[in-house]
A and B are shown apart, each in its own frame.
Chain A
Amino acid sequence: MESRQFRLKRLKTQIRLFLPLLLLMIALVFVGFSTTENPYLKQFQTALTQVVTPVVSVVSAPLRWGEAAVREMTFFVRTYRENKRLRSENESLQNWRNIALQLGIEQQELKHLLNYVPPQKSTSVTARVLADNGGRFSQSLVVSAGTDQGVSKGDVAMTPRGVLGRVVETGSSFSRLMLLTDYMSRVPVMVGNDRVMCILSGDNTATPKLVSLPENAVIQPGDVVLTSGHVGVYPAGLGIGVVSEVIDGEISVSLFESDFSPGFVRLVDFGLNHVLLHEVCSERDGA
Chain B
Amino acid sequence: MTLSRSLIHLKKGIPFLICLFLILLAQTPAFFITSVPFLFIPIFYFAIFRPGLLNDYAVFVLGLFADLIGRTPVGLWAFIFVLLFFVARLNRLFLGGLRFDKLWLVFAVFSAVALMLRLLLFFLCAGTVVPGGFLVGQYVVLNLLYPLGVMLCGRLDNWIEVDS
Where the two chains meet, the residues of A that have a C-beta atom closer than 8 Å to any C-beta of B are 19-21, 23-24, 26-35, 41, 44-45, 48-49, 52, 55-56, 59-60, 63-64, 67, 129-138, 140-142, 176, 183-184, 203-205, 260-262
**Which of B104-112, B128-136, B149-157 lies on the face that meets chain A?**
B128-136
Most buried by B among A27, A52, A60: A27
**CB < 8 Å: which of B56, B64, B71, B130 contacts A133?**
B71
Q: Could you say which residues of chain A place their CB within 8 Å of the CB of B67?
A: 30, 34
Most chain A CB neighbours (cut-off 10 Å) among B27, B69, B125, B128: B27
A23-B82, A59-B24 given as contacts; is B69 within 8 A of A261 (CB)? no
Q: What distance in Å separates the Cβ of A96 from its nearest Cβ neighbour in chain B?
A: 34
List 12 extra interface pairs beyond A30-B75, A134-B70, CB under 8 A.
Answer: A23-B57, A24-B79, A27-B63, A31-B79, A56-B28, A131-B28, A132-B30, A142-B27, A205-B130, A260-B30, A262-B29, A262-B31
From the candidates A21, A26, A60, A184, name the one contacting B29 in the complex (CB within 8 A).
Answer: A60
A28 and B134 CA atoms in complex are apart in Å by 25
Selected contact of A23 from candidates B25, B30, B78, CB within 8 Å: B78
Separation of A63 and B138 alpha carbons in the complex (Å): 18
Given contacts A130-B29, A133-B70, A183-B128, contact A31 B24 (CB under 8 A): no
Task: Collect the chain B residues with CB atoms within 8 Å of residue A205's CB.
Answer: 130-131
Selected contact of A44 from candidates B21, B31, B68, B130, CB within 8 Å: B68
* 19 A-B pairs (CB sep. < 8 Å): A20-B56, A20-B89, A23-B56, A26-B60, A26-B75, A29-B75, A31-B75, A45-B69, A45-B71, A49-B69, A55-B24, A59-B28, A129-B29, A129-B30, A131-B29, A132-B28, A133-B71, A134-B70, A205-B131
Q: What separation, in Å, do the CA atoms of A260 and B86 have in the docked complex? A: 39
Given the complex, which residues of B lie within 8 Å of A137, measured CB to CB?
A: 72, 122, 130
Q: Is the CB of B31 within 8 A of A63?
A: yes
How far, in whole Å, are A262 and B31 apart by their CA atoms in the complex? 9
Chain A nearest CB from B58 CB (Å) reads: 11
B142: Cβ under 8 A from any A Cβ? no
B126 is an interface residue with CB less than 8 A from chain A? yes
Given A31-B74, A35-B125, A136-B35, A262 contacting B24 (CB threshold 8 A): no
Q: Are the CB atoms of B31 and A133 closer together than 8 Å? A: no
A135 touches which of B26, B68, B130 (Cβ 8 Å): B26
Query: Does the CB pair A204–B130 fall under 8 Å?
Result: yes
Q: Mark B38-69, 1 if CB is under 8 A from A, else 0.
A: 00000000000000000011001001100111
Interface of chain B: mostly helix, strand, loop or mixed: helix
B85 within 8 A of A: yes
Which residues on the A side are within 8 Å of B83 (C-beta)? Answer: 20, 24
Name the residue in B21, B30, B67, B89 with the highest tally of chain A Cβ atoms < 10 Å from its Cβ.
B30
**Are B21's CB and A30's CB within 8 A?**
no
Inter-chain contacts of A31 with B (CB < 8 A): 73-76, 79, 121, 125
> Do A30 and B74 contact each other (CB < 8 Å), given the known contacts A23-B82, A24-B86?
yes
| Contact assessment for A261 and B30 in the assembled complex, using a CB-CB cutoff below 8 Å | yes
Known: A19-B56, A27-B78, A31-B79. A131 touches B27 (CB 8 A): yes
A52 neighbours in B (Cβ, 8 Å): 24, 27, 69
- For the complex of A and B, the 10 pairs showing the least CB-CB separation, nearest first, are A30-B75, A60-B28, A27-B79, A20-B86, A262-B29, A31-B75, A132-B29, A34-B74, A27-B78, A204-B130
B79 partner residues in chain A, CB cutoff 8 A? 24, 27-28, 31
Residues from chain A with Cβ under 8 Å of B21 in the complex: 59
Q: What CA separation (Å) do A60 and B25 show in the bound complex?
A: 7
